[in-house]
Chains A and B, each alone.
Chain A
Amino acid sequence: MNPTLSELEAKATRQKAAFGGDSHIVCDNLVRIYKTEGVEVVALQGLDLVIDKGELVAIVGASGSGKSTLLNVLSGLDVPTAGVARVAGMDLLSMSPRDRLRYRRSVVGFIWQQTARNLLPYLTARENVELPMKLASRGKARRGRAEELLELLGVDSCAGRRPPELSGGQQQRVAIAVALANSPQLILADEPTGELDSETSEQVFDALRTANRELGVTVVIVTHDPLVSEQVDRTVGIRDGRTSSETLRREGAEGQIIAEEYAVLDRVGRLQLPRDFTSALDMERRVRLELESDHIGVWPAREEPSND
């Protein structure tokens, strides 16, 4: 018997929900192609990423690997070319401009690397925090909320000062407060400590962790900073526009941190082997796989006899 239309629809939605389930951030085979002057640059080449609600995740990768593009897509500033990108149940590809505006206002907050780019120099720290609430036409509780956030992030003493009068670390913490102003579910930070020394970086990272713990906000940080990437639960590595590895950290039995690096297996079964591994065993073009009871073995291609 042929399935009815409603059954097909139910089937379709069921299948779609299968990848990532009801995770907070789901990217499935995400592609972003830039076109300038007829030259195409593929910044994201089928990236898969799943992040659960309340996670604190770092994304690392070489320059040009597509981290910033991913962040721009997730922040609703950029629209991917193809694939699936879903944040808090909202499909980032099919959003109308109105939805996108609502998304930027209430679902996501973000922080840029350049401290000067995050804040308006002629507004005080408090006014900067109030600005997104004003733009979203939030009620009169703005001032209270702004002060609350500044206090939470430890910069309440700077409320009446303007950005040029603040240190880099203070500016970034105020920027985090700005990003949190409209109570977003997700904060994206693009190299938030890139311009800061290690001590100040620590403060800024603490502020992000505070937001994550106290407010339950999902935090995604793009970073080069080993200090940051070593302190998060999960570090996702991106190479050539794809997620290539994941490092999970957990506390061992003796209280020491155990970091385990995993390769990422995508939905169709592709795997990126680290280059050091493949070159060490001289693996090129072809490898041999063998399924064992509890693992899959990868072997260099056997030298074939000429008469074979």
Chain B
Amino acid sequence: MRIRLLAREHLGTVAVLFVLTLGACLLVAGLPRATQAAYDEALRRDLQAAPAVQTDLAVTVSSGSRAEDLRERAQFDSRERLWREILPPELRPLTAPSSAGHMSAKTTLTPITGTGGKSFLNLGWLSDADRRVDWVRGRAPGAPATTRYEGETIPVFEVGVVEQALDKMNLRLGQTVFVGENDYAAVKIVGVFRAKDPGDRYWSHNSDILRILEEQPPGRQDFVRHITTLTSDAGLSALSGEGRNLTYRWILPLVPRAADALDVPGLRAAVHEFDRVVALQTVGTSSPYYLVTGLPELLTGFLAELSTAQTVMYLVLGGLLAVALGVIILAVQLLADKLDHTLSLARARGGSLPQVAGTAAALTALAVAPAAVIGYALSYLVPGPVLPIVHAGPVIVVVVTVGFAVVRPALLHRTPLHERREDVATARPSARRITLEVLVVVLALAGAYLLRARGLNASAGQDPFLLVVPIALTVAAALITLRCYPYPLRLFVRLSARARAAVPFLGLTRAARSRSGSVLPVLILLPALGVSVFAAVVSDGIASTQRLAAWQQVGAPVRVSTESEIPADAIERVRRLAGVEQVVPAQTGRVQVGYGAERAEAIAVDVAQWRAILGDAPVGLPALSDGVLVSPELRGRGTLEIGWQSRLKLATRGVIESVPGFFTTGKFVVVPIGVQLRPAVNTLLIKGDVSLPELARLVPSARVVSQESAMAAIQDDPLTSTVRSTLVVVTVALAAYALVAVVLSLVVGAAERARTVSFLRTLGLSERQAQRLTVLEILPMILVTALVGLGLGLGLPAALGPGVDLSSYAGDLAVGDYSLDLFLPSALAAGLAVVAVLGAYAHTVISRRRSLGAVLRVGDST
């Protein structure tokens, strides 16, 4: 049949179908790309933020004898080539080329002779030292020599150290020190160097060369210091593992920019595989090669964070796809209804079933296929990797839509004469169907219960159970709604039958009888509202928890803290700064509890003033005028005696879980600032709209943070912002789809309704009554669905509560109590109802233009 002619005839419906498909394909193909791009970005940031020593692959081996020593650079190079050869293919694109990597040989715990294990001077060699350091004093180390010491010939290494080592370890340029306790060597300090770029990730592997490691062994007052010196290539030839802890390392640096969130599980396996094959290269030595990297742990942590994001995204995107398909199918149904005359006639005049179904399918495909292609093409404007769903999404949309367009006419026109009795309500459902529905409802409830009872192991990756339960709950809610909503309606019908007005009775009766036609809108509206309310609640939960986390991090609108005391005049200047409303000085410190070694963190502050500047912030403190507030660990001690400048005896006035902005764990106390004889203020809590750089200028060397900047930092995370923006996009899209569904379901029933209204108008129904009739007819379905959808959306977060851990998007605070901010969900439901009413009015206004006779005659069958 002439598809083009048909398309022109039903241009409006075809255009609606086109637009709906375009939007659906764009969303279904575009959103996953955007979210995946955010996942990649998050992984790259995670890898970039982690120290290189954790992310890079370090092949390590220790030398235990002269035979195992590597004395020349060439020996290092040949092994480096070997590591790169056996590197698993998954890791190759992620590792920087040889030029960016480096090799090292370092001794550890090499004591300076005679210091009694207090000073350690390790010998180190870096393959690219000449590129990494500048010699600021003396000269670069040269070849080693030998000397006699205690009757033996020992090597003399020429080395360089950092400036700090000279000061702290009492060394000087030109000095020769002996190292070792029985296997001695002499070390001559010939130069002092400085890192060309101390901030480079490179130095994460060699921080022992740049900085002294100080440690305080238990029970000792003084510090033990370690430094690693730098020797030359020639020095390497004399460096032996015999009698020393000598370790060789080959560093294969990771390129964070090349990381891909999709490959993470494969990467973990590849690292383990690399570790295994590296160990296999051990031939003829006592100590094996092994891999040192924190990459698998880092990736595992990332996966846990990712799987939560993916779960939420799968839920909302799946809901979006389902709703979009539902609305598109509703549009196809509208098109099929409009085609009904053509197809019936063609079928009666000798059209075969394939011809009839093919016509409907071809017309649908004409609208859907180009839209899907354009939507698919437009999705490439969204930055992000191409996932299978990007291709599959539009294909699913087209296949389902065209499939429905084929199946529906095929079933409808199986027998040529299909005089349907649409006014007859459907028969009582069969026992089998009721059993099945009850089974679905029971399974959904049991699933939700089990999910709550079991909780979720986020690090285990995707949990299909978590995805199935919301779907089952939605289906169960839809079944219950469809099955149960006619009952209260019939009650209203019975009540309205007694009333004098005819319109409520007629409208409600029609609503109660038109069940078969209203299944699809219910199936669309319910998940649409459910998912959008769910998305709104989750998004809202994340937002409020982010706010809470920001307050907990800072503890005040603005906080200025320093290591040393802030002078009184500086405080005064801060008070006079434009925008400052209130300044609360505080002193923090580490205090002695009782007379023993027990220590606690303490803050002395005017709690009342602090409470005043916190205002309506989601954090707070109990009031305190005298005495002390203690952490749970210091609970139950009655009067606490602390040593802070002077001995203070304070009665415990309360137990607090945390001091916002300061302490969250361990032992801490809050005391009124009045108890200090002369408080040394080192923290200012400020309220007001104030410029942070200005504050930093007024209080030199201070750390200035604001609640807003902390909030911005939390929200800046790519995962967090994508999760939130996707939730917002999906909410808006679903609301739009819900509205389209209402309008479409109005239009689908338009012809039939127009006939009824026209008929009733011949009996004396006024226009106003006709409008009320239409509204009453659709309102019960909209209202019931809106309420159930609202309940479902509000209930889902509670049902999935322990299963979805959103803490990584909210500054590591658990998004626990979803505050029931009913504004947005109620606005969605109310908007839906209003649009439905407006649609009904608009519909009656349009149908008024048609003459009664024409309406009553068209399609009237004998």
List A residues at the B interface (Cβ < 8 Å).
Answer: 36-38, 68, 72, 75-79, 97, 100-101, 104-106, 110, 113-114, 116-118, 120-123, 127, 131-132, 134-136, 178, 182, 190-191
Contacts and interface: CB of A to CB of B under 8 A. Distances in A.
Nearest to B348: A77
A131 B9 contact: no
Contacts of A132: 349-350
A104 B350 contact: yes
A135 B427 contact: no
B346 A76 contact: no
A36 B424 contact: yes
A100 B348 CA distance: 11
28 contacts: A68-B862, A75-B348, A76-B416, A77-B348, A79-B415, A104-B348, A104-B416, A105-B350, A106-B350, A110-B348, A113-B862, A114-B859, A114-B860, A116-B857, A116-B858, A117-B345, A120-B341, A122-B5, A122-B9, A123-B2, A131-B1, A131-B346, A132-B349, A134-B1, A135-B349, A135-B351, A182-B350, A191-B862
B349 A123 contact: no
A78 B346 contact: no
A77 B416 contact: yes
Contacts of A113: 862
B161 to A, nearest CB: 93
A131 B349 contact: yes
B454 interface: no
Contacts of A72: 417
A113 B346 CA distance: 17
B637 interface: no
Interface of B: 1-2, 5-6, 8-9, 341-342, 345-346, 348-353, 355, 415-417, 421, 424, 427, 857-862
B345 A37 contact: no
B862 A190 contact: yes
B858 A123 contact: no
Contacts of B351: 135
B349 A78 contact: no
B5 A135 contact: no
A122 B11 CA distance: 13
Contact of A123 (B5, B350, B857): B5
Contacts of A36: 421, 424
A246 B608 CA distance: 109
A298 to B, nearest CB: 36
Given A122-B9, A178-B349, 12 more contacts: A37-B427, A38-B427, A78-B417, A101-B352, A106-B350, A116-B857, A116-B858, A131-B349, A132-B349, A134-B1, A135-B346, A135-B349
Nearest to B414: A97
Contacts of B424: 36-37
Contacts of A190: 862
Contact of A135 (B355, B415, B857, B858): B355
A179 to B, nearest CB: 8
A127 B2 CA distance: 10
Contacts of B8: 122
Contacts of A182: 350
Contacts of B416: 76-77, 100, 104
Nearest to B346: A135
Contacts of A79: 415
Pairs A-B, 10 closest by C-beta atoms: A105-B350, A77-B417, A132-B349, A122-B9, A135-B351, A77-B416, A104-B350, A135-B350, A78-B417, A136-B350
Contacts of B5: 122-123
A197 to B, nearest CB: 16
A52 B384 CA distance: 76
A121 B346 CA distance: 13
A163 B251 CA distance: 84
A100 B9 CA distance: 30
A68 B415 CA distance: 17
Nearest to B5: A122
Contacts of B427: 37-38
A75 B349 CA distance: 10
